[in-house]
Structure 1
Amino acid sequence: MGACCSSSPEAKYEVSGGAKAAKQPSSHGPKPKPAVPDFGLLNTHEVIKLLGRGGEGETWLCKDKETGHEVAIKLIKRPIPKPAIQVIKREIKIQADLGQGHLNIVSADEVILSKTYLGLIMEYVPGGNMVAFVTKRRETKSERGGLCLDEDEARYFFKQLISAVEYCHKNNVAHRDLKLDNTLLDTHEPFPWLKLCDFGFAKHWQANSNMDTMRIGTPEYMGPELISSRTGYDGKKVDVWAAGVLLYVMLVGMFPFETQDDNFNNTAGLYDIWLQQIKTSWRDVPNNTSAASRLTPELKELLDKMFDVKQESRASIDTIKQHPWFNRPLPEKFTESLKELEEEQRAIDEQVSKGAFQSAERDKALEALLDRAVTPAMPSEEVTRLSLSKIKRAYSILRPKGAGAGMAAVQEED
């Protein structure tokens, strides 16, 4: 579904809602921005601003009129083509199942269907993504020996990323698009917590089985087996390679393998990256030699294991967690933040162990709702909301007139 749920530097719309509220063009000065669309959610949400665009839709910052909470909503125009609905269904279910169970994964709270749009309602992460964070640090990298983040700070975030990826893998899900753009930062003080988002390319696998040959993801983060469309690649090892790229970029602000050809619609750029991967150690790529010299020997050894071109011998998540660099003590300021995170996570783990976030009834209700999204809305159709979080049993009710504008809802039952 594309696009993550954090702030965007652009605002291309006026925040005042509704077409009637739009100002008339003046004969002098620039044209006003178009009014923010309401997406058929006028009775449920105030639409505030665009957060991002993806291949299938847009993500908007909205305020829930009932709770007053800010949320991020991925919106896809209805009717949705039938070939696309299975991919959307997979993303929603994966994020609903995983996000409620891990603090380092963006949670999906509801699905909403209006006459014109299908929306996935997620937690809003206001701190921006790691791209912006690392870019800002590049301006002062001379203060850290030429590194965007020093190794301690990078390890603080990397530990959280690995925890999130490990949780995905334990639930037989490969993310397949790990990158700075898909890692968000919240506003936890004194140091932000990382949140993994955008499960549009994520996929379940059966125990002891591998992925198909589809080339998917972001080229600079792809492992060689993914670029070459290797038959039956290991989704877990693809994530390990991408996590290594992400760690490297956090530290030095550039990719270990990249190309001057940005047009990945043809294969020249991909082939260029693939040749570097299979013929040259990441340490020996011309752009990397200076950067690699700034890293500690332990970290370089870990990256060697994560960038092993043979997926069979590439580091696993367990290998990473046991590595000396990963376990090097952090300064107290980071340790305290991680300790707080781990304590909150343990409480969630107890709920997960009791099946608190699993519901066959919810899954059936989700199937029915998405089946409606492939058809045009009926004139009498109401906005429908399906709660994805902490559900034991789900059922549909039609509220009486005057109670929430007759909105149909799928409620939570304790």
Structure 2
Amino acid sequence: MGACCSQPSEKYEVPTSSQKSTSKPTQPAKQPAKPPVPDFGLATTHEVIKLLGRGGEGETWLCRDKEADAEVAIKLIKRPIPKPAIQVIKREIKIQADLGQGHLNIVSADEVILTKSYLGLIMEYVPGGNMVGYVTKRRETKHERGGLCLDEDEARYYFRQLVSAVEYCHKNNVAHRDLKLDNTLLDNHDPAWLKLCDFGFAKHWQANSNMDTMRIGTPEYMGPELISSRTGYDGKKVDVWAAGVLLYVMLVGMFPFETQDDNFNNTAGLYDIWLQQIKTSWREAPNNSSAASRLTPELKDLLDRMFDVKQESRASIETIKAHPWFNRPLPPRYEEALEELQKEQREIDEQVSKGAFQSAERDKALEALLDRAVTPPLPTDEPVTRLNLAKIKRAYSILKKGGGMAAVAEED
């Protein structure tokens, strides 16, 4: 991580005795005013509220859509965008637009907006924060749950939703390649619905082909074949390994395999993790001395299958869904929440099957918009351009309110 603390502008010195005797009482120094929130050229369409996070490509801000009076998250990337980067951005937008519209456990990409100085991806805002914050908070009281951050029932409730989202990705020939707690958000349902986000590393694959040999993802979540990265890898099995790590951390609050070396640029930390993976069972890894004893035999068996170092024999999404631990009954509170989620998902599935979302025209417009994002801003005022990506979930929302398809047509 980069520096996150600002340095004081002046050094404070203790006054001498003479200074103490002659100096007059002074008023407390005024705190410097906070810098104004930038508007990124969005002033006519959105109110910018606060920074949500920073990534390699840009920053994500919480904003309010002035017309809809709704909060959204906008990922903003400064123009002009280098041509090599625009291809990656285009892939991310198209993947998240397609997948997010069709599944409730995936954050939807609703619009792309181009201002004079920024390209913005407007996404569904998920107010509950990410799973990192939730697990960290629960870790403080893990003694109440036999040493577990989340008990197995709660972990299974969230894990079922994660598996559903990953299965949907794989059915559409997309590997996420960066599954981790940081990329799982919680909404304001009670109990919360999980939302998978950040498709910056996601990639389509062709039938019966492996991914390339480039290392992609976060080291502690990488499978051994991804770290060694010599002959390519199966993106689906890489996601299964990472999902196993995510499940383990939800429960235990630690990684099954990790290193003290945070400098992964010299590969020493990666090599350390890889050696642990291929030489040591997750049950016997140094960090997990007593963790395995706190888990049920069924759960340990599932993790054994997900942490199989051979990707050919590693569990698939299908075998995970058929596993006894995955299918153990949940307390009524969780079962009822999943039933409501699945009911709404079935209605969205019906809209998808009817062709409620056609992407050819949208993709053509997106190409044209991104071509403009590569160019430097014009010296004169440039009108804000907005491209709608969302139809399925918006149509479902209108139908849910009783508007009918005629109302959907009026919205377009």
TM over 0.5: yes
Structure 2: which amino acid aligns with 1:184?
Answer: L
SS in 2 for 1:259: coil
- CA–CA separation in structure 2 for the residues paired with 1:150 and 1:226: 30
Give matches, 1:200-279, under 5 Å: 200-279=200-279
Shift of 1:230: 3.0
Is 1:377 the counterpart of 2:364 in the alignment? no
Q: What is residue 87 of structure 2 aligned with on the other side?
A: 86
Do the aligned partners of residues 27 and 357 (structure 1) sit closer, same or farther apart at CA in structure 2, a change above 3 Å counting? Answer: farther
Structure 1: which amino acid aligns with 2:335?
Answer: T
Q: What is residue 66 of structure 1 aligned with on the other side?
A: 67
Note the alpha carbon deviations across 1:146-193, whole angstroms, 9 max, x for none.
00000000000000000000000000000000000000000002x000
Structure 1: which amino acid aligns with 2:377?
Answer: A
Shift of 1:129: 0.5
Higher strand share: 1
Higher helix share: 2
Tell me if structure 2 keeps the 8 A contact 1:97–1:358.
no
- CA–CA separation in structure 1 for the residues paired with 2:226 and 2:86: 25
- CA–CA separation in structure 2 for the residues paired with 1:317 and 1:388: 29
Tell me if structure 1 keeps the 8 A contact 2:214–2:229.
yes
Tell me if structure 2 keeps the 8 A contact 1:387–1:412.
no
Of structures 1 and 2, the larger Rg is shown by 2
Shift of 1:70: 0.3
- CA–CA separation in structure 1 for the residues paired with 2:332 and 2:145: 19
Shift of 1:289: 2.7
Shift of 1:229: 1.1
Note the alpha carbon deviations across 1:365-411, whole angstroms, 9 max, x for none.
000000000001232421000000118xxxxxxxxxxxxxxxxxxx9
Q: What is residue 4 of structure 1 aligned with on the other side?
A: none
Is 1:29 the counterpart of 2:43 in the alignment? no
Shift of 1:27: 10
Shift of 1:351: 1.0
Which moves more between the two structures, 27-36 or 177-186?
Answer: 27-36
Q: What is residue 283 of structure 1 aligned with on the other side?
A: 283
Structure 2: which amino acid aligns with 1:56?
Answer: E
Q: What is residue 49 of structure 1 aligned with on the other side?
A: 50
Shift of 1:264: 1.0
Shift of 1:206: 1.1
- CA–CA separation in structure 1 for the residues paired with 2:281 and 2:381: 62
Structure 1: which amino acid aligns with 2:226?
Answer: L
Tell me if structure 1 keeps the 8 A contact 2:60–2:74.
yes
Shift of 1:101: 0.3
Q: What is residue 152 of structure 1 aligned with on the other side?
A: 153
Shift of 1:412: 8.8
Tell me if structure 1 keeps the 8 A contact 2:92–2:199.
yes
TM-score of the aligned structures, taking structure 1 as reference length:
0.87
Q: What is residue 10 of structure 2 aligned with on the other side?
A: none
Tell me if structure 1 keeps the 8 A contact 2:116–2:381.
no
Q: What is residue 314 of structure 1 aligned with on the other side?
A: 314
Structure 1: which amino acid aligns with 2:124?
Answer: E
Tell me if structure 1 keeps the 8 A contact 2:128–2:188.
yes
Note the alpha carbon deviations across 1:29-88, whole angstroms, 9 max, x for none.
332221000000110000000000000100000000111100000000000011100000
Shift of 1:356: 1.8
Is 1:171 the counterpart of 2:172 in the alignment? yes
- CA–CA separation in structure 1 for the residues paired with 2:218 and 2:194: 20
Tell me if structure 2 keeps the 8 A contact 1:201–1:216.
yes
- CA–CA separation in structure 2 for the residues paired with 1:286 and 1:41: 50
- CA–CA separation in structure 1 for the residues paired with 2:50 and 2:260: 34
- CA–CA separation in structure 1 for the residues paired with 2:247 and 2:358: 33
Tell me if structure 2 keeps the 8 A contact 1:87–1:200.
yes
Q: What is residue 76 of structure 2 aligned with on the other side?
A: 75
Q: What is residue 352 of structure 1 aligned with on the other side?
A: 352
- CA–CA separation in structure 1 for the residues paired with 2:198 and 2:325: 28
Q: What is residue 294 of structure 1 aligned with on the other side?
A: 294
- CA–CA separation in structure 1 for the residues paired with 2:55 and 2:117: 18
Shift of 1:355: 2.3
- CA–CA separation in structure 1 for the residues paired with 2:347 and 2:259: 45
Q: What is residue 112 of structure 2 aligned with on the other side?
A: 111
Tell me if structure 2 keeps the 8 A contact 1:76–1:118.
yes
Shift of 1:28: 3.0
- CA–CA separation in structure 2 for the residues paired with 1:355 and 1:80: 33
- CA–CA separation in structure 1 for the residues paired with 2:374 and 2:340: 44
- CA–CA separation in structure 2 for the residues paired with 1:270 and 1:209: 25
- CA–CA separation in structure 1 for the residues paired with 2:123 and 2:205: 24
Q: What is residue 395 of structure 2 aligned with on the other side?
A: none
Tell me if structure 2 keeps the 8 A contact 1:108–1:388.
yes
Q: What is residue 186 of structure 1 aligned with on the other side?
A: 187
SS in 2 for 1:60: strand
Structure 1: 5+ residue stretches without partners:
1-8, 11-25, 392-410
Q: What is residue 100 of structure 1 aligned with on the other side?
A: 101
Structure 2: which amino acid aligns with 1:34?
Answer: P
SS in 2 for 1:282: coil
Structure 2: 5+ residue stretches without partners:
6-26, 393-408
Do the aligned partners of residues 113 and 151 (structure 1) sit closer, same or farther apart at CA in structure 2, a change above 3 Å counting? Answer: same
Kindly tell me the number of residue pairs found equivalent between the two proteins: 371
Note the alpha carbon deviations across 1:94-124, whole angstroms, 9 max, x for none.
0000001000000000000000000000010
- CA–CA separation in structure 1 for the residues paired with 2:367 and 2:136: 41
- CA–CA separation in structure 2 for the residues paired with 1:289 and 1:217: 26
Tell me if structure 1 keeps the 8 A contact 2:53–2:59.
yes
Give matches, 1:134-153, under 5 Å: 134-153=135-154
- CA–CA separation in structure 2 for the residues paired with 1:29 and 1:380: 38
Note the alpha carbon deviations across 1:341-369, whole angstroms, 9 max, x for none.
00000000111112222320000000000
Percent of aligned positions that are identical: 86
Tell me if structure 2 keeps the 8 A contact 1:176–1:217.
yes
- CA–CA separation in structure 2 for the residues paired with 1:42 and 1:96: 25
Shift of 1:413: 7.1
Is 1:40 the counterpart of 2:41 in the alignment? yes
Structure 1: which amino acid aligns with 2:162?
Answer: L
SS in 2 for 1:63: strand
